[in-house]
Amino acid sequence: MPNFGLGVFAPEPQSDGSLIIRILVTGGAGYIGSHTVVELLAAGHEVSIVDSLVNAHPAVLPRLARLGGRDPDFRQVDIRDRGALGSVLEDGFDAVIHFAGRKAVGESVSDPLGYWDTNVAGTLVLLEEMRRTGVRTLVFSSSATVYGNTAVAPFDETLPTAPINPYGETKLAVERILEALAVAEPEWRISSLRYFNPVGAHPSGTIGEDPNGIPDNLMPYITQVAVGRRERLSVFGDDYETPDGTGVRDYIHVVDLALGHVAALDYLARNTGYRVHNLGTGRGYSVLEVITAFEQASGRKIAYEVAGRREGDAAAAWADTRRAGEELAWRAQRDIDAMCRDAWNWQRQNPNGYGNEPTA
Ligand code: NAD
Ligand code: WQD
């Protein structure tokens, strides 16, 4: 249990000496948000979720209650709806974890206004309503995509940022707003977490990643091939300057990522101001290595063909994780086998994701 400093979040002391804080999770019905809610509930915190459900299924909610042992409070709210969001915040929170947003790179190219509206204007509404209601502690979902394609891995947090698509631009814009806010109003406590490639699922197989339509990302595509929903994977390029020619990424188990948020809250209890941390494992795997690891974990053969490179892809990207290790006392624990096993366990139990369950 993290040790939240009394007076920072004014947490509620329990009979066993642990402390409860009240946390609002925006986008808490989504992939990373739902896994984080489980870990927050497990740590004993009180959790409220706001989510518009634009990219989540209501069937996740009873599953969260099952995993967490109690119902998280849920309100279907769009973060851009100032009145609705403000009235939720008036209930009183110690901290906000802000996952809500749109995340598809290709879609951001075809709908830049929509991406700036949700990701940037939506965050402005959240910040203004947090300030109005006296909440000044925030963990923000940023992305390794802010590094762009020019730097050579490993990426540390001091590298210049250079996003190459509107999605990445919106993440960087929010980081800049947060940094400026913490300078202007030093009582804020703000953490931007730059996630590398989140994969996997809760080990129970109860919650997991359920993309709409054809998956953009490697792991959900592989699991859908394994379960028979897709015929074969296209490997986007085998002529990169990497050991086997395919792209190398820093895949991180979503449960480790969720625990990184618990660690970031603990950090914010001890520190004011603004700080960026990478969340990754610090090691890269190629597409072919992921396929092999998945085949071993699942016992299924993954049919694939080598296709051309995907526009905008880097050859290799992985994190320098030292800052998170030193300052958050957090380290990813789960290896590629656990990532593949848990991704498969989720997909096998839920071949159609949340779609085949009645809504909550
Ligand atoms: P997700 O789409 O599963 O979760 C986002 C949630 O936000 C969804 O439940 C969606 O319904 C909700 N949402 C979207 N717009 C909203 C709005 N206007 N108001 C209220 N709710 C809204 O995505 P995820 O993978 O869980 O990502 C969570 C966050 O992490 C996002 O901000 C994303 O940009 C960031 N991130 C994700 C990855 C990744 O690879 N998954 C990597 C780096 C950063
Ligand atoms: C991984 C590797 C592909 C699909 C994206 C976003 C990034 C962040 C995380 C939000 C690459 C290869 C993929 C396929 C393949 N999201 N691949 N066949 O591109 O590293 O990052 O998700 O912030 O912003 O860009 O992840 O899973 O799409 O790709 O060969 O069908 O798998 O070329 O080498 P990426 P990914």
User: pLDDT, tens digit, for every residue of 259-271?
Assistant: 999 999 999 999 9
The answer to whether position 159 is within a domain reads: yes
Residues 6+ apart with CB under 8 A from 144: 155, 194, 195, 196, 197, 250, 278, 280, 317, 319
Q: Which of 31, 139, 194, 216 to mutate to test the pocket of ligand 1 (most atoms within 8 A of CB)?
A: 31
pLDDT tier at 19 (50, 70, 90 boundaries)?
low
- For the stretch 27-73, pLDDT in tens is 999 999 999 999 999 988 999 999 999 999 999 999 999 999 888 89
31 assigned to active site: no
The answer to whether position 6 is within a domain reads: no
Q: Are the C-beta atoms of 80 and 119 separated by less than 8 Å?
A: no
The answer to whether position 360 is within a domain reads: no
Mean pLDDT of 286-302: 98
The answer to whether position 262 is within a domain reads: yes
The answer to whether position 178 is within a domain reads: yes
360 has pLDDT over 50: no
Q: Which of 38, 55, 216 to mutate to test the pocket of ligand 1 (most atoms within 8 A of CB)?
A: 55
pLDDT tier at 20 (50, 70, 90 boundaries)?
confident
Q: Which residue has the tokens 């409070």?
A: 73
Of residues 31, 115, 147, 167, which has the active-site annotation? 167
The answer to whether position 272 is within a domain reads: yes
In angstroms, the CA 264 to CA 313 distance is: 29
Mean pLDDT of 175-189: 98
In angstroms, the CA 197 to CA 69 distance is: 29
pLDDT of residue 72: 87
Look at residues 42, 35, 108 and name the one whose alpha carbon lies nearest to residue 70: 42
pLDDT of residue 8: 57
Closest protein CA for atom 1 of ligand 1:
30
The answer to whether position 119 is within a domain reads: yes
Q: Report the C-alpha dihedral over residues 301, 306, 310, 313, rounded to 10 degrees.
A: 70
pLDDT tier at 18 (50, 70, 90 boundaries)?
low
Q: C-alpha 263: how far from its chain's center?
A: 14
Domain at 295, CATH number: 3.40.50.720
Determine whether 355 is exposed, middle or buried from the number of CB atoms within 10 Å of its CB (0-12, 13-18, 19+): exposed
1 has pLDDT over 70: no
User: Which residue range(s) make up the domain with 207?
Assistant: 22-349
Look at residues 307, 216, 318, 208 and name the one whose alpha carbon lies nearest to residue 254: 208
Ligand 2 atom having least distance to the Cα of 287: 32
The answer to whether position 44 is within a domain reads: yes
Closest protein CA for atom 4 of ligand 2:
218
pLDDT of residue 10: 57
148 has pLDDT over 90: yes
Number of H helices, E strands in the chain: 12, 16
Look at residues 54, 188, 50, 193 and name the one whose alpha carbon lies nearest to residue 127: 188
pLDDT tier at 150 (50, 70, 90 boundaries)?
confident
Q: Determine which of 116-120, 148-152, 219-223, 266-270 has the lowest per-residue pLDDT on average.
A: 148-152
Domains: count for the chain: 1
pLDDT of residue 14: 61
Q: Which residue has the tokens 């905008």?
A: 312
Q: Kind of pairing, strands 248-249 and 316-317? A: parallel
